[in-house]
Amino acid sequence: MKKKRQKKKFLTVKQLLLFVGLLIIIVSFSSGLYKTYAALTDKDQKQNEFRIGDFQTSIEEEFDPPANFEPDKEYLKKVSIRNTGEQESFIRVLALPVLTKKQVNGTTQLLVATVEGPTAVLTIDYNLTDWFDGKDGYFYYKKKLIKGESTTNLFTKVMMNKGNITEEYEGVFLSIEIKAEGISSTKFAYRDAWWGGKTPIENPLLAIDESLKNQTISE
């Protein structure tokens, strides 16, 4: 018996055009994916390459801690920041009041030292004319500092509110821990350093961003 010869199948012109079109779509799609990935990679590399420069600041304060911190009595405490670096910089400050008391057994007790609300233990006259309260623990200076320039005082006085404390506050010692940060005024270094590269969308950080971005300079 003779074997039947199988007929060779040839692509029609229509099928050939359809195949070529599909191939073009695949190549274009792959190229689009590559460009998207490259853009994301470039962005990530730019963020990863970000470095906080050597922006030096010094804390200037005037404070003589009293031997006996008495309630309802104002004590002088002036705090400002000087730009001791070579470049213009934005400044933010963390100011943390701490109340401690020595115990009979030699240990140190840490007491509540709130500064907000009707039951605040301390009253501090924060300068909110020249500073923003970021409500994130930091105070942001409204103007960038040039080399050698100092901020105005963040605050000047502190007082313990007698009506909001108990007997355990008798004989407490007050200290205020200050942490100052300086960052370049180039666009948008402060966002990268302080807010993870994000642009705030709500106050008070939104208002802070609006103030600072108008003072930035191009690299």
In this prediction, residue 5 carries a pLDDT of: 52
- Specify whether the CB–CB gap between 111 and 160 falls below 8 A: no
The residues near 123 (Cβ < 8 Å, ≥ 6 apart) are 115, 158, 159, 160, 161
Strand partners, 78: 62
User: At which residue do the structure tokens 């799609």 appear?
Assistant: 29
Token pair for 207? 């208002």
Q: What is the pLDDT of residue 98?
A: 93
Mean pLDDT in consecutive groups of 10 residues from the start of the chain, 219 residues: 49 49 41 31 29 65 81 94 92 94 93 96 97 97 95 96 95 91 94 96 98 91
- pLDDT in the model for residue 27: 39
Q: Let me know the angle formed at the C-alpha of 93 by 88 and 99, rounded to the nearest 5 degrees.
A: 160
Query: What does residue 26 show for φ and ψ, rounded to 5 degrees?
Result: -60, -45
Q: Which residues contact 164 (CB under 8 A, 6 or more apart)?
A: 119, 120, 121
Q: Of 57, 73, 79, 68, nearest to 144 (Cα)?
A: 57
pLDDT, position 180: 93
Residues facing 183 on adjacent strands:
90
Distance of CA 143 to the CA centre of its chain: 16
**Cis peptide upstream of residue 71 (ω within 30 degrees of 0):** no
